[in-house]
């Protein structure tokens, strides 16, 4: 093995400039591949981060307006979802895993001592926390006891905490929202620099205090299980629409009566888009890398032409064609791998630097982003390594086969 490496080193030293220029094309190709893959990964992470911890297998229902007359009802009628619809979803649809609802109330003035601020108020279910991925910085979220006993519990957010409590711990404190007094049980994480605020109270309490116990809700959100195909999802939505149509007396095919916001379908569509982007990136990157492979293959052909007489002497002394093939392939793989790893390391370093800049900028402005963590995972690095090895083998295969087919007598007479 040492002799083989020594021969390769001698061959490289003999043609330093040519080797460097050819290797640079390989390094540039793998560098661009890493940059493109990292950028695609950053775009994917950025878009998916906007989902936060929101359950991707969820569906939101909103009441709409009918677009056609039905059984004596005129079109344009407002469909209002209510508590009975929640019970129907839980009872009649086994595909539904969890159900929650929310009721948005008009803006209110929240006050604590002499401090006050404007806030939006929302009545909600405990399961909303898991389905919407709500994170807390202190305390707890609305629970079942709050819901059952109509408690005046409230979960404020960080903007309201900043305005009303400054550095004081708000848990257990009482604040006045509108004409009602609530006990703070938790603080929801959020952008503490925002001027507007929204707070959550038990849905039953919101309906009792602000809607005269009217069972209407603004929207219903639920998660699904066992639905994996588009056909299954379409069938479920049709059955859901028919059942709600029977409950609220609108046409079963009137899709304007109830709005269905399918997070799962949007998530699947985005995965298809990102899959296409990833495929496109690999095609472009491999095309760039192909120029380097051609360069390595050409330099190996030139090397064989220069060493034809040497190979003839080797064969005359008893060397097998396989040893010559091994020599050429090893040199090709080592040349490709060495320069390729340089390009890969440089590409990873650039992506890490970009990631650090993004992290620093996000700490300044904590808002939505479309580009996040453009780094490569282990799987991509392993794929790039495999590409390097295969590139070296492909680049050396044709020259190696040509060297192995040289006839001894023709090789000995070469350049004589």
Q: How far apart are CA 122 and CA 301, in angstroms?
A: 74
Which H, E and C letters describe 272-316, residue by residue? HHHHHHHHHHHHHHHHHHHHHHHHHHHHHHHHHHHCHHHHHHHHH
Q: How far is it, in rounded angstroms, from Cα 311 to Cα 333? A: 20
Sequence-separated (6 or more) residues with CB below 8 Å from residue 165:
112, 173
Residue 176 DSSP code:
E
Cβ-Cβ contacts under 8 Å for 213 (sequence gap 6 or more): 207
* Main-chain phi, psi angles of 118, to 5 degrees: -85, 140
From CA 148, how far away is CA 347, in angstroms rounded? 57
Radius of gyration of the chain, Cα coordinates, nearest whole angstrom: 34
Q: Are 191 and 366 in contact (CB under 8 A)?
A: yes
Partner residues linked to 67 by β-bridges: none
In what helix (H) or strand (E) does residue 237 lie, and over which residues does it extend? Answer: helix 230-248
CA 137, CA 162: separation in Å to the nearest integer?
13
Q: Can you give the pTM of this predicted structure?
A: 0.66
Q: What is the pLDDT of residues 288-297, one digit of tens each?
A: 767 767 776 7
Per-residue pLDDT of the chain (416 residues; tens, 9 = 90+): 565 566 556 666 666 776 777 778 778 878 887 888 888 888 777 776 665 556 678 899 999 999 999 988 899 999 999 999 999 999 999 999 999 999 998 778 999 988 989 999 999 999 999 888 888 999 999 999 999 999 999 999 998 999 899 889 999 999 999 889 999 999 998 754 445 688 999 999 999 998 889 999 999 999 998 888 888 999 999 999 999 999 999 999 998 999 999 887 777 777 788 788 778 877 877 777 677 677 767 776 666 666 666 666 766 767 676 777 777 777 777 777 788 788 888 888 888 888 888 777 765 555 556 677 777 766 666 676 677 677 767 767 767 777 666 666 655 555 54
> What is the 8-class DSSP label of residue 86?
H
Residue 141 backbone dihedrals phi, psi, to 5 degrees = -100, 175
- The two counts, helices (H) then strands (E), for the chain are 13, 10
Q: What one-character DSSP code corresponds to residue 68?
A: S
| Beta-bridge mates of residue 105 | 121
d(CA 30, CA 411): 36
């Amino acid at each position: 093995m040492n002799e083989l490496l020594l021969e390769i080193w001698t061959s490289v030293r003999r043609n330093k400039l040519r080797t460097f220029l050819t290797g640079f094309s390989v390094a540039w190709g793998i560098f661009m591949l890493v940059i493109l893959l990292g950028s695609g990964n950053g775009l994917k992470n950025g878009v998916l981060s906007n989902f936060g911890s929101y359950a991707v297998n969820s569906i939101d229902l909103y009441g709409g307006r009918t677009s056609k007359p039905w059984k004596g009802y005129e079109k344009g009628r407002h469909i209002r979802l209510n508590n009975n619809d929640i019970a129907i979803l839980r009872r009649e649809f086994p595909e539904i895993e969890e159900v929650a609802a929310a009721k948005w109330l008009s803006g209110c003035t929240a006050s604590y001592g002499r401090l006050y601020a404007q806030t939006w108020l929302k009545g909600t279910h405990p399961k909303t926390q898991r389905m919407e991925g709500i994170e807390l910085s202190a305390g707890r979220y609305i629970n079942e006891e709050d819901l059952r006993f109509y408690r005046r519990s409230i979960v404020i957010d960080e903007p309201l905490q900043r305005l009303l409590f400054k550095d004081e711990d708000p848990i257990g404190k009482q604040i006045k929202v509108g004409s009602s007094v609530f006990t703070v049980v938790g603080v929801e994480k959020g952008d503490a620099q925002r001027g507007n605020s929204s707070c959550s109270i038990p849905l039953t309490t919101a309906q009792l205090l602000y809607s005269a116990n009217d069972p209407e809700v603004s929207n219903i959100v639920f998660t699904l299980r066992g639905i994996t195909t588009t056909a299954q999802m379409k069938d479920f939505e049709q059955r859901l629409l028919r059942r709600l149509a029977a409950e609220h007396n609108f046409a079963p095919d009137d899709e304007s009566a109830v709005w269905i916001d399918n997070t799962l379908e949007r998530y699947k569509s985005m995965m298809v888009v990102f899959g296409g982007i990833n495929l496109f990136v690999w095609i472009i990157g491999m095309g760039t890398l192909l120029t380097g492979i051609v360069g390595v293959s050409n330099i190996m052909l030139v090397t064989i032409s220069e060493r034809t007489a040497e190979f003839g002497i080797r064969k005359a002394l008893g060397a097998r064609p396989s040893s010559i093939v091994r020599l050429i392939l090893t040199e090709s793989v080592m040349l490709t791998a060495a320069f390729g790893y340089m390009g890969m390391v440089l590409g990873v370093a650039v992506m890490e630097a970009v990631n650090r800049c993004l992290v620093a900028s996000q700490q300044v402005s904590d808002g939505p982003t479309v580009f996040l963590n453009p780094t490569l995972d282990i799987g991509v690095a392993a794929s790039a390594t495999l590409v390097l090895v295969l590139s070296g083998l492909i680049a050396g295969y044709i020259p190696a086969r040509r060297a192995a087919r040289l006839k001894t007598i023709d090789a000995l007479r070469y350049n004589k």
